[in-house]
Amino acid sequence: MKTIIYILFLAASLFTNAQKKEKDYNIFYRGGDPNLKPIKYVLFDSTISYSKKKIDNNQLNFHIDGESFIHKKNQTIDTCSIDFLQKVKLENPADLQKEEYNYFKKKKKEFENSGHIKIPNSLPISSTHLYFKVFVLEKIKGNKVLKYEVDWIYSSF
């Protein structure tokens, strides 16, 4: 009986660890270790003037506080209870770029301290934001929340 429990536990742990995809990781520099992207949650509220949602070419575009996010067909949508909002930390979209820069500086310092070459100071900011995995949360009727996996595509500087 113990062996069956151990086998089930092992199978369950292997299954849960296999759920991470390659796009959930990034490598900052050649020779560096893959890092799991931090997850950021942004709340979309259609009643606020600086939040807009638009469908273009089978893509869902979110424009929230100067930031743009795109949800594509191949990305996930999950329905959660409203209680999910209390379990996660919601980010201010206007501060995401600053957080991205601080995260980049921290990882750069870790890379240099691990014995790798010194890297000249540079800005990680570009038109593509590869350092965070972002989800847009939208409240819907019936105390439910839709969780869209999105690509962060634009920042207002």
37/130 Cα distance (integer angstroms):
8
**Angle (CA) 143 149 150, round 5°:** 120
Whether pTM exceeds 0.95: no
DSSP conformational letter for 24 = G
Say how many CA atoms lie within 13 Å of 153 toward its Cβ.
Answer: 13
Q: Name 104's Cβ contacts closer than 8 Å, sequence gap at least 6.
A: 28, 124, 131
The amino acid sitting at 69 is F
Q: Where are the domains of the chain?
A: 22-154
- Per-residue confidence of the chain (157 residues) as pLDDT tens digits? 667 765 666 555 555 544 456 667 877 666 667 778 899 999 998 888 888 999 888 899 999 988 899 998 888 899 999 999 999 999 998 888 888 888 888 887 887 787 767 766 665 555 667 788 999 999 998 889 999 999 988 765 4
